Structure 1
Amino acid sequence: MSKLSPLAAFGQFAAGRLFLFRKEVGTLFRAFFHPATPFPLKAAMLFVVFYLVSPFDLIPDFIPLAGWMDDLVLVPLAVSFIVSLLPLEVTGKKVPVTAPGPRR
């Protein structure tokens, strides 16, 4: 098996993360309109959107590269965190069922 160069490995990681981010954004969009989504999570979703479009950032955008990197890192992290807090009823994921039997 051939080993990937560091740049190719990063490219595969970035492509996978981008696909996951796109899927998570769709999940958040559906969850925002779902009646079982708690209000604090809906508020967090709105905060992420407003942070993304707001001219006020943790690191100002006029600082080369660093200003854009905070948006590229913080927004996907916030989206993933909010998705992880969503109730199973909202995400549509099944609860794992364990086989009945004695506990260990």
Structure 2
Amino acid sequence: MIARLKSWARSLKRDVIALWLAARDPRVPWVAKLLAGAVAAYALSPIDLIPDFIPVLGLLDDVLIVPAGIWLALRLIPPPVMADLRERAADTTRPRSRAGLIAVVAIWVLAALGCAAAFGMNFGL
């Protein structure tokens, strides 16, 4: 069972890189590019939307949200194109996503400002 989990994790990592490549590939439909880019940016971001130290919820994005996004994006990309992208992904080093980092930080800042506004705090904005 542990071997199956390790194999599944390796395939997820490969597919994330393949989605990163798909977001830049002209053979991929624009809707699939958009979703592939968003999933790859989030998965490759150095920080999570929900930090891992938060019990249960912290791991929820890694276990459910990212695989679900990958699954959906894979359904939108033509199979021959995805097979080619997976081959290319196997030879590509893991990129980092600045866009994912910026998006996650922006969400946290907006959430903090929303909470502050809800509690009547005024920061002079």
TM-score range, shorter chain: 0.5 to 0.7
Bigger Rg, structure 1 or 2 = 1
Q: Deviations over 1:20-71 (max 9, x none)?
A: 1022123212222211111111111233245554x885xx538732222222
1:39-58 equivalences in 2 (<5 Å):
39-49=30-40, 51-52=42-43, 53=45, 57=49
TM-score between the two structures when normalised by the length of structure 1: 0.58
Q: Which residue of 2 aligns with 1:4?
A: none
Give the secondary-structure state (helix, strand or coil) at the position aligned to 1:29.
helix
Rounded Cα–Cα distance in structure 1 between residues aligned with 2:62 and 2:25? 27
Give the secondary-structure state (helix, strand or coil) at the position aligned to 1:37.
coil
- The verdict on how the C-alpha distance between 1:12 and 1:56 changes in structure 2, with shifts beyond 3 A counting, is closer
Amino acid at match of 1:18: A
More helix per residue = 2
Q: Which residue of 2 aligns with 1:61?
A: 51
Amino acid at match of 1:20: S
Aligned residues: 82
Identity of aligned residues (%): 19
The answer on 1:91 being equivalent to 2:72 is: no
The answer on 1:36 being equivalent to 2:13 is: no
Q: Deviations over 1:52-92 (max 9, x none)?
A: 54x885xx538732222222121122113212321134224
Rounded Cα–Cα distance in structure 2 between residues aligned with 1:23 and 1:70? 20
The answer on 1:78 being equivalent to 2:76 is: no
Rounded Cα–Cα distance in structure 1 between residues aligned with 2:42 and 2:20? 16
- The verdict on how the C-alpha distance between 1:26 and 1:12 changes in structure 2, with shifts beyond 3 A counting, is same
